[in-house]
Amino acid sequence: MSVALQPAPALDVARVRRDFPILARTVRGKPLVFLDSAASAQKPRAVIEAMVRCMETAYANVHRGAYHLSEVATESYEAARAAAARFLNAADPREIVFTRNSTEAINLVAHSWGRGVMRPGQAVLVSEMEHHANLVPWQMLRDDGRGIGLRVCRVTDDGELDLEDLAAKLADGKVGLVAVTHMSNVLGTVTPAERIVALAHAHGAKVLLDGSQAAVHRRVDVRAIGCDFYCFTGHKLYGPTGIGVLWARLEHLERMPPFLGGGDMIASVTLERSEWAPPPAKFEAGTPPIIEAVGLHAALDYVAAIGLPAIEAHERALVDHAMRRLCGVEGLTLLGRAQDRGGVFSFALDNAHPHDLSTLLDRAGIAVRAGRHCAEPLHARFGLEGGTCRASFGLYTTREEIDLLADALVRAREFFA
């Protein structure tokens, strides 16, 4: 007997928008149309209030105090770690390392796994669609004389990862780590994570997924995906800046040497030598982002309360609507036509420099990104070295805002013509 699948619950976007104070403001006398969530998302009242409440009633340094307030703060900090583990379906909260952002998380893996575990003659395999945060650290590893190579997987004209090229570059068994995005911050492409992991593991390579964008839009289950490392950043997930998450299998963290040295990451210290604390403390030197962890916990709870199935269904509807409207704008070039994509649209308009176009849209109250979005090689791949404009969606984005963007682009084309 077959069981009918239940549709995802509808997201009440009008109610959601009331949770975000900044969305009530105007820009140049017009309602704010915020389409730059891929760079940094706006914050709901629940996050703002949780951080203020922490500072007003429960702030102290963590792990070190033998007094009540420090114990309360430590409990809050570790509760945030447990929340991040639940969010990713991690097997153990000890697999969660707090960092400043995804960039620091990837640098941690590059420094600690790349320099401490990988062997000379091995290579890291990235793709053409990577954010600089998942490219530059590996170039630095390649260039520091340890004998670690760097390979690059091609991207197809449709903006998808070329899996045949990926397989070819894995074939000799010398790739030690595949480090690729789970969702492109330029193309919106959602990469086939499970297939990538299966292919990499079959050739003896570990896998790091940069989930900075994907974790915002899709449910992430690191155990189902099967990867070895996964990272995301709080400020894109409706939380504060200054905190990110690195998930890694516990056996990997136990093998990896520390990234930074100092207080709280040690078991003992003498003038001659130090013993490291077990993970995750080994990778969290110094006073951690206590208030930010509280804010991240509130953001994760907020997203969970709405429900990722509802968020994903809302975004799929927005993406379909945006494809129809933006493809109807004459003279507009969209980057990427991947079959599976999220709410990120990068585009170029005939005769308009991206910065000029962004400025013109701002006069209509529409906030979009202009430039190369920390992905210069990808723009070069598509022959757009001058950059693009990027509109990106959050759970508070509406169809009406997409319509306003499309109509403003039509007027902009007339203006620049």
Catalytic residues: 374
Alpha helices in 177-242 (DSSP H): 193-202, 214-217, 222-225
Q: Which two tokens mark 194?
A: 């499970």
Name the residue type at position 162. Answer: D
Task: Look at the alpha carbons of 393, 90, 305, 232 in this order and tell me if their dihedral is positive or negative.
Answer: negative
Give the CA diameter of the chain: 71
Angle between helical axes of 290-306 and 68-88 (0-180°, round to 10) = 40
One-character DSSP codes across 105-133: HHHHHIIIIIHHT--TT-EEEEETT--GG
Indicate the DSSP class of residue 279: T
Name the residue type at position 160. Answer: E
Over the range 147-157, which residues count as b (16 or more CB within 10 Å of their CB) and which as e? ebbbbbbebbe
Task: Measure the CA–CA gap between 263 and 11, rounded to whole angstroms.
Answer: 44
Per-residue HEC secondary structure of 326-390 comes to HHCCCCEEECCCCCCECCEEEEEECCCCHHHHHHHHHCCCEECEEECCCCHHHHHHCCCCCCEEE
Task: Measure the CA–CA gap between 146 and 350, rounded to whole angstroms.
Answer: 46
* 104, 233 Cβ separation under 8 angstroms: no
Task: Measure the CA–CA gap between 240 and 40, rounded to whole angstroms.
Answer: 9
